[in-house]
Every structure is written in structure tokens, then in C-alpha cells.
Amino acid sequence: MIEAWRWFGPLDKITLPEITQTGASGIVSALHEIPYGEIWPVDAISTQQKMVANTGLLDWMVVESLPIHERIKRGEGDLSTLFANYRQSMANLAACGIYTICYNFMPLLDWTRTTLDAPVKGGGMALRFDRQEMAIFEIFMLERDGAEADYTPEIVDAAKQRFDQMKQNDKDRLLASIMAGLPGAFDRYSISQLRDELAKYKDIDRDSLRANYSRFLHEVIPTAATLGMRLCVHPDDPPRDILGLPRIVSSHADIAWIMDEVDNMANGLTLCSGSLGASPDNDVPQIAAEFADRIHFAHLRNVSKDADGSFQEAAHLDGDVDMVALVKTLMNEEKRRRQRGRADHQIVFRPDHGHELLSDIGRGTHPGYPLIGRMRGLAELRGIIHALAHEQKE
């Protein structure tokens, strides 16, 4: 397996020289400064690619992500220019030798957490999704119509009690935490702006979102196949409806539908163990085994779930996902690819998210993306991989 590292470009507080010291060889990055829907020019791709290559040790291997414009997700208006721009961006990336694109089809928000600094045992901080805090936000701050129906009476009552005790800075913190899951889009919404954006989705249900996703796949996957590219969809995070918005990449059945909708190797999956692992209904190693041949990229992290639907980022070898079983599944797939003679048999992965530890605390890195916490995760995953590789040789 190929070790990679998420880098947010020149504005990232973690520098490329620091990343070289982690031992990773691949970089996962994007051109975050380019607005959604616009073409990624060859010169901009090449400039960032050279920054990475000039380290002498790193190579930009995966794009995360080439964002999909919200109008495509809503199926709104004439989309021909947006699709043409997406295809041209893919062609420009291929011209620079970058052939793997991770993307998501989550409406409006990417990953969602309610707390960015939940304490962890022994010190440090983790990302957390608290069901009561989400109810506070949806019901009492956003005042979304119908939000109460998405929660049990016990959660609603507890949320009301907590909301009544909140000060304005507590509310501001909760909004900022929920908005933090947009690392590739530097816009952040106020409450009123979020209401306006949600209103644009009022007629979008699960079936219509699936239809719009199907259109996207049919518009771009043939081009990806011609270019020799691999697109790999990232699962919803968390894998459930959020803010009344449907989520359609949350389960085994969802992934099966996507792979079947355009049955082509260019239409693949980013196996994210944390996103899928946040649902008690998902057996992540089993999902990985079933769709192994379509996994083009992997995010490896862990979560610990609570009975009420809350969850918290765990250390990479803790939590509810059997990481050893999952990595073994991915390595078995690599072995199958190698036996079939595939030169690209290795799966690129990155240690996803990490606890803020030691000098990470207060450094101001992207939430979930500290240096030491991820390096700890990478080291732990590296140990699993080496042990399993030794086992395969026996």
C-alpha cells in the first residue's frame, strides 16, 4: 500500500518539508483557491505539482477533491458548461500525470461535526458528532421546519435544556464547528445564509438527488475512462441525512447502486473507514471485500459510536472498526491485482483525521488534520501493513 498525506496547499500550516519527515511518499491535494465549477488550468496544476516534486521525496498522487458544483447536485438550469468544465479539468489533470480523483456528492456540507475539541484520554482533542448538539443546532438555532421529527423526544428534551443554558459564544462555537467541514471551500455560512442555501434544496429528495448523481456519472465517467482516470466517490460523513438534506452514499446498498449505475472501472470508491464506520449498520471490512476491485483510494481512521447516534474520532487502532481486518482485505485485493499483472496494483491510502496532540494543540491546523496525531496514525497503520505483508510471505 502507498502511504499518502493530505496537504491543503500553500496555505496549509503543515509544510511539505514537515510531511517528508512522516515517511509518506504521496500527496493528496487540490486547488482550493479555484471556485467550484471553474476549469483547473494546466499551469495551476503544474505549479502545485512542482512544489510537491521539489521536495525530492513526494509526488502528488490523488486529487481531493475536484468539487462538484451545487447546481449539478440540484439539477438546476443549463448544466452543459459545468459538465464541460469538469471534463476539461480532468483532461488537464491527466495531462499532468494525475489520474485519481476523490470527490463527494454530499449536498451543501461535507463532513459534519458539532465539536472540534472533545477531550481524549491522556490529553489531546478529537472531533465529535454529538446528537444532542446537532438537535440544538437544527431545532433551536436554525429553526428548521420538521427538524424535531428527526430526533427522539428524549434527545429533543435534553437539547432544549442545554440550549436554554447556552451563551452566545456557545452558539457561535457550535455554528463554527458545523461549518468547519468545508476545507475545500473557504466560504462559511451564517445561520441566515444557511437557511437560504437549504431553501434551494427544498424540492430535492433522495430520488431526485440520485437522478442528478446518475446524470453526473453518465456525463463524466466515459471521459474519465478514455483518459485512463479513476474517479472514486467518498461516502457521506456522517452516513445519514443532515439538516433535512438527503444523503445517498451512506450504505452498502448505496455503493452497489453507484457501481452498477455506470459499470466501469473508472467509476470507483474511496473506502473511508470512518465515514462508513459511523453507522452501526455498516460492516466496513465486509463492504471493502465486496467492492474491493473498485477501491481506488482509501481513508483509514476510526470512530467510537454511542447508542444515541453520537460518535467520536478514535485513535486509528481503537474504535469500532476492525482496522486489522480492513487493511488485510485491502492488501488481499492488492495481491489479486498483482497476480493479474496490474502495474498499478497498489492502493493509495492516507491516515485520515487525527487527534490534536502535544505541539499540535493551538497550532491552528485544519480541524481533524494535525501533524502529530496523523503521524501517530500513519505509524500504527504502517505497523499493521508490515505485519500483514510478513504474514503473506509465509
Which is the catalytic residue, given 12, 69, 234, 360?
Answer: 234
| Range of weakest confidence among 18-27, 276-285, 384-393 | 384-393
Biggest CA–CA distance in the chain, Å, is: 63
- Mean pLDDT for the chain overall: 96
**Of 276, 259, 288, whose CA–CA distance to 347 is shortest?**
288
Helices (H), 165-205: 168-179, 191-199
The question of whether 353 is a catalytic residue gets the answer yes
CB 266 within 8 A of CB 293: no
End-to-end CA distance of the chain: 19
pTM of the model: 0.94
Ordered by where they begin, the domains of the chain are: 2-109+205-393 (3.20.20.150), 115-198 (no CATH)
Is the distance from CB of 303 to CB of 321 less than 8 angstroms?
A: yes
Catalytic: which of 130, 237, 352, 360?
352
Q: Is 272 a catalytic site residue? A: yes
pLDDT in tens, 151-184: 999 999 999 999 999 999 999 999 999 988 765 4
**Cβ neighbours, 10 Å, residue 37:** 18
**Active-site residue, from 12, 103, 151, 272:** 272
Encode burial over 341-362: b for 16+ CB neighbours within 10 A, e otherwise.
Answer: eeeeeebbbbbbbbbbbeebee
**Catalytic (active site) residue 345:** no
H/E element, 51: helix 42-53
Task: Quote the pLDDT of residue 186.
Answer: 54
- How far apart, in Å, are the Cα atoms of 137 and each of 40, 126, 174? 36, 20, 7
Q: Note if 352 is an active site residue.
A: yes
- Reported confidence tier of residue 188, pLDDT bands at 50, 70, 90: confident
What pLDDT, on the 0 to 100 scale, is given for residue 156? Answer: 97
Q: With H, G, I as helix, E, B as strand and everything else as coil, classify residue 24.
A: coil
What's the pLDDT at 393? 79
